[in-house]
Amino acid sequence: MLHVVVIGAGFGGLKAVEELRTRHAGVAITLVAPGPRFLYWPNLVWVPSGWREPEDLTCDVRDWLFRRRAAYHEGRVVAVRDGGRSVVTDSGALVADGLVVASGATTPAAVPGTEHVYAICGGLDAARAMRDRLRALAGGRLVLGFADNPAHPPAARGTPVLELAFTLDEQLRRERRRARFRLDVVLPPSADVAHGALAGLATRLRARGVAVHPGRRIERFAADRVVTDRESLASDLTVFSPAMSGPAWLAESDLPATASGHVAVDARARVDGLERVYAVGDAAAFPGPAWQTKQAHTAELQAETAARNLARELDGRAPRERVRHEVVHVVDGLGHGAFVFRDGRGEWALPPTRLGHYLKLGLEREALRKYAPRGRRPRARGAVPAAGPRPRFPLPRL
């Protein structure tokens, strides 16, 4: 029996398993990941406000894998060798007739002093630590920023940082603490605040009293400040999203890598020069338009294409589908979400509405209910009220 290995239990990895099982009922599938938990990353921005607890955004996927006749191998990938036919983990090696790499990205510490910052895309522990720090502050200055990867501009987490700025601003207003805080957002040179949806978001932030600093490259962090190539900003809480690179194990593997450190793939998501080996999501660098980005939606689109092409190759046919480039953002500010869509035909956006917030809530519920064990669905958390209540936790007094 043919055996396919899928690396990663995120959006791309689970979508690849689902599509492979749909397209090829007879293939054996093994998903490799350090742990069996799926994390709904897009809504981590709600953790600092207390509208989501970390456990609200995760679920165990082993039951879902079992229902799709897929095995689970717990381990961290160390290397991929023999042209993708051998996947070496810290708990054993797997032989693969086909491979899908959806292991996510690494965030090299390219900026000195990152031990002083909180990363909204750093996972559950980072989101929880940021929440606790914000609750402990009686006032001060909050500085948010992100870095880009010049060798691969899509490898940046800009939208979550901007969304968090809206969320923190609204949260502090609802807690009647906004007057005690100053909010700053630092944007790298690649962030075009003069055109498109990003220009609209920057304008909205400024209208809410958030200082936007475009065209800055962050050089280092200290415990109480952020130093850019133009100024030094005092900071009582710093949130930073570093640039992304490919998997850490790529350097020990024989898969081709780009200058940005990602797996090199073609327009069909197939790894350059290799048969029946694909890479999707944050792990890969795709050819395509400059506006493409790395997000859950694009990872699923890429995984769908990769699985279909891999299924064709397993049947002895040539891959033919190309990845569709498409960006969907729901930028929520605790109760009202702005919708942004872009593809090859253009870009359009809707202003913040309650409908946008319910859309973001619905996407979360759909994913968690889909992957959670039967009979043990995650608790359904309601929408954030349009008008905020008093805080549900003690706040520091002046």
What is the tens place of the pLDDT at every residue in 312-335? 999 999 999 999 999 999 999 888
CA dihedral 140, 383, 12, 292 (to 10 degrees): -60
Residues 26-41 have pLDDT tens digits of 999 999 999 999 999 9
Q: Which residue has the tokens 């500010």?
A: 333
Q: How confident is the model at residue 396 (pLDDT cuts 50, 70, 90)?
A: very low
Same fold flag, 3-34+75-106+245-324 and 114-243+327-359: yes
Burial, 222: exposed, middle or buried (Cβ in 10 Å; 0-12, 13-18, 19+)? middle
Lookup: tokens for 266? 């073609």
Please tell me the predicted confidence (pLDDT) of residue 199.
86
pLDDT at residue number 109: 67
First to last CA, the chain: 68
Q: What is the pLDDT of residue 54?
A: 84
What fold is seen in the domain 114-243+327-359?
A: FAD/NAD(P)-binding domain (3.50.50)
pLDDT at 287: 93
> How many helices (H) and strands (E) would you count in the chain?
7, 22
pLDDT of residue 154: 87
pLDDT tier at 120, thresholds 50, 70, 90: confident
Instruction: Rank 190-199, 263-272, 287-296 by mean pLDDT and report only the highest.
Output: 263-272
Identify the band that residue 9 occupies on the pLDDT scale cut at 50, 70 and 90. very high
Buried b or exposed e, range 150-182, using 16+ CB within 10 angstroms = eebbbbbbbbbbbbbbbbbbbbbbbbebbeebb
Q: Which residues contact residue 22 at a Cβ distance below 8 angstroms, ignoring those fewer than 6 apart?
A: none
Please state the rounded mean pLDDT for residues 157-163: 90
| Per-domain residue ranges of the chain | 3-34+75-106+245-324, 114-243+327-359
Q: What is the average per-residue pLDDT within 191-209?
A: 86
Task: Note whether 360 and 332 are within 8 A (CB).
Answer: yes
Q: Strands 284-285 and 263-264, how do they pair?
A: parallel
Residue 165, pLDDT > 90, answer yes
305: which DSSP letter? H
Pick the CATH number of 3-34+75-106+245-324 from 3.50.50.60, 3.40.50.1970, 3.20.20.140, 3.40.640.10: 3.50.50.60
Residue indicated by tokens 């936790």: 393
Please report the pLDDT score of residue 39 as a whole number. Answer: 95
At 390, the pLDDT band (50, 70, 90 cuts) reads very low
pLDDT of residue 108 exceeding 80, the answer is no
Check whether 124 has a pLDDT greater than 60.
Answer: yes
Q: Is residue 389 pLDDT above 80, yes or no?
A: no
Region of poorest pLDDT, from 140-144, 234-238, 248-252 = 248-252
